[in-house]
Amino acid sequence: MSESPLIIDCDPGVDDGVALLLAFASPELEILGVTTVAGNVSAALTARNARVIRQISRRTDIPVLAGCQRPFVRPPVEAGHFHGASGLGDLPLPLPPVPDDGETRHAVDFLVGALMDRPAGTVDIAVTGPFTNVAVAMIREPAIIPRIRRIVVMGGARREGGNITASAEYNIFADPHAAQVVFGSGAAIVVHGLDATHQVRATEARIAAIEALDTAPARACATLLRFSRRIEAEQVRGLDAPLHDPCPIAWLLAPQLFESVPCEIQVETASPLTLGHTAVEFRLADPASATIHWVTAADSQGVFDLLTRRLAS
Ligand code: RIB
Ligand code: CA
User: What confidence tens digit (pLDDT) does each residue in 153-182 have?
Assistant: 999 999 999 999 999 999 999 999 999 999
The reported pLDDT for the residue numbered 8 is 99
Mean local confidence (pLDDT), 63-91: 94
Q: Smallest Cα–Cα separation from 9: which of 219, 155, 120, 143?
A: 155
Nearest ligand 1 atom to alpha carbon 10: 6
Q: What's residue 1's pLDDT?
A: 44
Please provide the average confidence, as pLDDT, over all residues in the chain.
95
Q: Which domain covers residue 60, as residue numbers?
A: 5-312
Burial class (CB in 10 A: 0-12, 13-18, 19+), 174: buried
In this prediction, what percent of the chain has a pLDDT beyond 90? 90
Strands 123-127 and 258-267: unpaired
Tens digits of residue pLDDT in 110-160: 999 999 999 999 999 999 999 999 999 999 999 999 999 999 999 999 999
**129 touches ligand 1 (CB under 6 Å):** yes
Ligand 1 atom nearest to 163, measured from its CA: 1
Nearest CA to ligand 1 atom 1: 170
Identify the CA nearest to 247 among candidates 306, 179, 204: 306
Half-sphere exposure of 272 (CA within 13 A, CB side): 0
Is the pLDDT at 2 greater than 70? The verdict is no
Catalytic residue among 83, 192, 198, 244: 244
For residue 244, indicate whether it is catalytic. Answer: yes
C-alpha–C-alpha distance, residues 237 and 102, integer Å: 43
Which are the contacts of 73, defined by CB distance < 8 A and separation ≥ 6?
177, 269
* 103 vs 302 pLDDT, higher one: 302
What was the pLDDT predicted at 4?
76
CA of 15 to the centre of ligand 1 (A): 7
pLDDT, residue 100, reads: 66
Q: How far apart are CA 185 and CA 180, in angstroms?
A: 8
Quote the ligand 1 centre to 149 CA distance (angstroms). 23
pTM for this predicted structure: 0.97
CATH code for the domain in which residue 198 is found: 3.90.245.10
- Give the pLDDT band of residue 224 (cuts 50, 70, 90): very high
Of 10, 7, 17, whose CA–CA distance to 202 is shortest?
A: 17
> What would the mean pLDDT of 227-245 be, rounded to a whole number?
89
Integer Cα distance of 199 and 211 in angstroms = 22
Domain count of the fold of the chain: 1
pLDDT of residue 93: 67
Predicted pLDDT of residue 104:
86
Q: Are 39 and 174 in contact (CB under 8 A)?
A: yes
Give the torsion sign (CA, 132, 133, 139, 140): positive
Does the pLDDT value for residue 260 go beyond 90?
Answer: yes
Per-residue pLDDT for 87 more than 90? yes
pLDDT tens per residue, range 182-207: 999 999 999 999 999 999 999 999 99
Q: Residue 29 in contact with residue 23, Cβ under 8 Å?
A: yes
> What pLDDT was estimated at residue 98?
66
